Amino acid sequence: MREVVATGLGVIAPGASDVPGFWHVLRNGQAISAPPTSMPEGRIRVAEVTDRTIMDRLPVKAAALDRSAQLAVLASGEALAMAEIGAENTDLSRVAVIIGNGGAGLTSLDEQFHRLYHDKQSRLHPLSVSKSMSSSSASWVSIAYGLQGPTFVIASACASGTHAIGIGGELIKSGLADVAVVGGAEAPLNRGTLLAWESMRILAPDVCRPFSKGRLGLLPGEGAGILVLESAEHARGRGAPVLARLAGFACSADAADMFNPSEEGMARVMAASLKAGGLAPQDVDYINAHGSGTQANDRAETAAIKAVFGASAPPVSASKSVTGHGLGAAGGIEAVATIMALLKAEIPPTANYLDPDPECDLDYVPNVARQARLRAALSNSFGFGGLNASLAFTV
């Protein structure tokens, strides 16, 4: 089995339009929260990408893409540029594209349903099908950059981006690809989708406060986080600097409940990721938690970490405290955050933290970033439907 390394990172996130900007807002705990453009009356708050200039970088015609695909293409472009992948040094037929989407073309669907039912139009946009189909984001990344290897979308709720990264690594290990552009993208901040989430009564009224006493729920977000993975042999052959090693990946299903998270399932997948990477619990110096800010998730994830790591659990922080919950994009965005933490030797904080919750009693690096020697880190994602995934990175 071939060793898998990361050589490129790309991100579009609330408050940031590239990796340096993302790390700045993350390590400074600059939480994003405001009424969405689609619902400016302010009843719901979200973490939205508001930089409109990013579309100037889009290498394909923006009007042909759903917003989720636009974000995927933009983040992939940054990652490919960082990795310096191109036809001159890589067989593009051996470059896979695997993107995680929770809901795919939700913005385009919402726009066309409004046109049909509210505006009483009898005809819809001629690109409605291609903009809303679930495979669109991966297809557009392939088209935009001429990548001809295995290309598909993974939809596994909030674990989608993490699954995409892990499966991309497995394709490289097995020899089905030399390089994989992997991660997640999501643009769910339209009126219909937000009202659907609001009906569940799990949305935060202000900001996301993972693991904190007084947390009131998740904050919907959008964005894209993309990694370029390749075999270590391929990276060496073209002289590419290695950012991190994808040491381990595991995924599982609770087979229990659609909404209530399972402590046992979370613990099992973290332990399996460590085993796959040849790591012991004491080797891990940092955990980027799923940390959604809901009562049930944060309690269960805390208990699961304690079950795997015992009394010597490493520091834990939650990127969603800054970026909001990017749904299918979250795993990709948080994998970028985890690798950046390893590279910078710094743990980004859990922002908006108020007071300790007796049921969440780990070190969550509250509000202020922390310098630390980091050798290995986990990135966790736990989705509705009991879908679990964990990545282990080392430097």
Catalytic hit among 208, 234, 251, 325: 325
Q: Is the dihedral of CA 77, 331, 50, 198 positive or negative?
A: positive
Q: Cα(209)–Cα(294) distance, rounded to whole angstroms? A: 9
Catalytic hit among 163, 251, 290, 360: 290
Half-sphere exposure of 238 (CA within 13 A, CB side): 19
Q: Cα(326)–Cα(41) distance, rounded to whole angstroms? A: 22
158 among known catalytic residues: yes
CB 308 within 8 A of CB 271: yes
Tokens of 211: 């693991």
CB 187 within 8 A of CB 67: yes
The rounded Cα 72 to chain-centroid distance in angstroms is 11
Q: Cα(194)–Cα(191) distance, rounded to whole angstroms? A: 5
DSSP string, 170-225: HHHHHTS-SEEEEEEEE---SHHHHHHHHTTT-B-SS---TTEET---B-BB-EEE
Q: Cα(259)–Cα(384) distance, rounded to whole angstroms? A: 5
CA-CA distances (angstroms) from residue 255 to 249, 260, 262?
A: 20, 11, 9
290 among known catalytic residues: yes
**Which secondary-structure segment (H or E) carries 75?**
helix 67-83
Catalytic hit among 158, 208, 251, 360: 158
Half-sphere exposure of 59 (CA within 13 A, CB side): 16
Tokens of 254: 């609770």
Pairing of strands 370-371, 346-347: antiparallel
Give me the active site residues, please: 158, 290, 325
